[in-house]
Structure formats: C-alpha cells, structure tokens
Chain A
C-alpha cells in the first residue's frame, strides 16, 4: 500500500475529486493548508502598511491506494491539478505499513 499526499491549488479541488471518482477512487481526506515552494507570495497593503504574504492557501489530499494502482492515481491527480504555472503544488508518495477499518477490524488492502 502507498500513501499519496498531493498539495494542490485550491481552485483545482473539484477537478481532482472528479478525476479520482472517474477512475474509481472513493476514499480521500482533504485539508486546507498553507505553504509555498518556489512560488512567491503577494503583497497586501493596509493603510500604507505593507505585508508580504508568502504562505499561500493550498489544499492537501491524502489517500492510500494498493501498490498496483499507484502510477495510475498519481498520473490522474497530476493531470487534473496541472495548470502549468508556478504554484501548482507537489505530490509525495509514502510506504504504508498497515491499514485498519475501525468498524470491523478489516486489515491491509481490504481496509482501504
């Protein structure tokens, strides 16, 4: 099993959700986060006082998939989230040691 963590532009949220649904991925966790990579922030001015806002709002997807589906899912997320501009985000992949479905104690891939 692999965990995919994708940090994307907030306005791509619906596109990515829809694309994952189309390839049969139902389970995911989403959170609103802030961060930046190479993207520079923007300038805000309040009564002449300037603030450089470099931590920008992003959406983080977390989902766990069987090893066999990894490439397909990463490709799908990448395509759906891509606008081609700086700030599109990153995808990280981790090994997962175990999964448990709390309701009935299913283990491993059966639980995801």
Chain B
C-alpha cells in the first residue's frame, strides 16, 4: 500500500511538472507576443504618421499631401502584396536568393509559432511585424523623388520594387536558407539585426538611382525650396525615434534581455548622432539647427539598425557619433559636389548611414551581447571578438544590396517610364502634386 502511494505521488509530481512547464511556456509566449504586437504597431507608426510628417514638412506647401501620400499609400499597397506573396517570398523556404510559395496567401500562417524564426510567438504576429518593415522601406525611397513623381507611376514602381528588390534582399538576409543568413544556413554570414542592408541600403541606393533618373526639380537649385513646416518635421522625426524601438528592440522577436540591449543601443546612437550632426554644422556654418538635430538622430538610428542587437552601449554611442558627422558631410559637401537632387536626402541619410552601420557592425558585434548559436555553437561575431573577417562578410552583404537595388531600381524605372511616364508634366509640377495628382490642398486656412 505504501509503494502504491509513492507511485501515485510520483505520477502526480510528473503531471504537475508538465503542467508547470506548460504554464511557464504560455507565460513567456504571452509576454513575448505582447511586446511583438506593440513593436509591430510602433514600426507602422514610423511610416504613418512618422515618415509622412517628417517628409511632408520638408517639402513646399503645395506638395505636402502628395508627399504624405507616398508614405501612407505604402500602408495599403504593400500590405496586400505581402498577404498574397510577399511574406512567402521572404520567409518561405526556397532558393538562396528568393523564398518559395509555401506561405502564399498566408496559407498555414496562424496562431502556431514558426520555430525557425520565432518559437514563442504566433506566426501571424511574426508575419505582421515583418510586414511593417516591408511598408516603411519603399516609403523611405520617396524622399528622393519628392515633388515630381507621377502618382500612377509611383504605384507601379513601388509594387515592382517590393517584388524585385525588397523581397529577394530580405530573404537573403533573414529567410531560412538565404544566401547571407548568418544563422539559418547562409553561404556568407552577414550580420544584420534589424535591416541595415535590407531596409536602409536598398532604399538609400534606390533613392539615388531615382534622383538621377528623374532629374532635378524645376528651378533646383536656383529657386528657394525651403521646408514649408519644420514643426511637422520635428514631430515626425521624434515619432520615428520612438517607433525605432519597435524596429530594433522588436527585432529580438521577444521581450528578452536582447530586446533591452537593442533598445539601449538604439537610443544611445540616436542621441550621439543628433549631437554629432549639430556640432558639425555649428563648426561649419555657425549655427546648430533643428533640422540638423533631427536629421542626425535619424542618421544615427539608421546606422545602429544592423548593429543594435550585437553591440554594447559604448560602441553604440560611437556608431551614432560617426553616423551623424558622416551623413552631414554626405548631404552637404558630397551632394553639392555632384549636384544631384536627392530632395529629402534619402540616399545621404539611409544609403550612407546604412552602409556605415553595416560595416561597423562587423567591427563591434560581440557574442557577449548576442549569444545565439551559429551552426549549433556560440561563435565570435565581429572584430572585437577577434573575428575581423566579419567586416569582409559585411562588405559582401553591402555589395549585394547595392547591386540589387541599383540594377533593380533602374530596370523598374525603365518599365514605369515606358508604360506610364515617371515624371509629372511641367505645369503639374509647378502647380504642385496636391492639386495635380490628388485634387486637394493641404491647407485651406480661410475655411
């Protein structure tokens, strides 16, 4: 009888242990999912209203709605493409350069986690979180062709750009079996925590191609084209800063210590980059400006993006400072020397800052911060871990991103130009995009 009692107790303990494990897993899943849903919302907020306000304030008054539309419309357009094929082409297993159609029409994407990417959250959370990145990336490009692109051409351009540039690049870096995926069977292990190559280099380089292809705005640079509302831009940039916590800390894919580390790195880099840009212009032209401050902050956020989940706080401060000064130089001296009209400096900030950040990731990444196993074991990451060859791997990733973005964008522009014509008529450009493309005005103060 005593033995029977002990057996019962043991079985009982086993059952209770299993129940306990189940409730612990469920608690972790609940915590992670809560943070990831918030992060997804934060990243969407970066596009609308963040980027819409930031870019909208920097253009002339007659183009404010047209410019905001470039960001806002991505929230509609890219979402549909993502649901049909985008998510699958990025995260479905497939070739090294593009994913397969396993998840087309979100087939099989539901409450069950996808253990390849994020084992503790529903795959639908992971899917919608990644969608927000696909939305903001093409929106970033629009800064380069602001005030002169035809809206019908933009619609086709953005749809093709997602398919030809973004989905392949995102698959290469983040998709299982992607060519550059450091953790899931890539050939070249490129470290990109939250999208330095995928988001910022692709959008920045594509922006430069667009600026060169479309040509300068009428009257540039002789006519004054001052930002019509710096106030809107400051509000937008600060929303970007806040939203970026979802972008970078959310890329930990859980409410973990790594998320906290990425949060800190992100914030620190934004701070020193704002500082660096303002100091540079203070020395250069005598006054620190509000526009310099917010441009610097964005440059720092861009540069820390690939590094955010790999670096300690002090290197994050340094990465930000370098990005602030470097991007200031890019949008002032370099842009003036070559004379291209990258209207809102999408290339000077995202292309340049993203490249700098991706390279510095190879320098400062350390497994003291991110000990996720590579091929089953914790491996040294960047040069500070004694793994200097990582800088070369980063350069390969950067090179692929630049080549794909440049060639892809040029082909897409050719197609759009042949079918629709990419640039508005001269009269429409003088009238402004708000009236000529959308038939409405941003401000009607007499009403």
Binding site for B on A (CB under 8 A): 44-49, 51, 53
Contacts and interface: CB of A to CB of B under 8 A. Distances in A.
Nearest to A47: B331
The prevalent SS among residues of B at the interface is helix
Contacts, number: 28
Nearest to B335: A48
A48 B291 contact: no
B83 to A, nearest CB: 38
Nearest to A48: B332
Interface residues of B, number: 19
A102 to B, nearest CB: 22
Contacts of A51: 224, 226
B94 interface: no
B285 interface: yes
B293 to A, nearest CB: 12
B226 A44 contact: yes
Given A47-B295, A48-B281, 19 more contacts: A45-B281, A45-B285, A45-B287, A46-B226, A46-B289, A46-B291, A47-B291, A47-B292, A47-B331, A47-B332, A47-B345, A48-B284, A48-B285, A48-B328, A48-B332, A48-B335, A49-B221, A51-B226, A53-B224
Interface in B324-353: 328, 331-333, 335-336, 345
Contacts of B328: 48
A46 B227 CA distance: 8
Nearest to B224: A51
Contacts of A45: 281, 285, 287, 289
A31 to B, nearest CB: 15
Which 8 interchain pairs have the tightest Cβ spacing? A48-B332, A51-B224, A47-B331, A45-B285, A46-B291, A51-B226, A46-B227, A46-B226
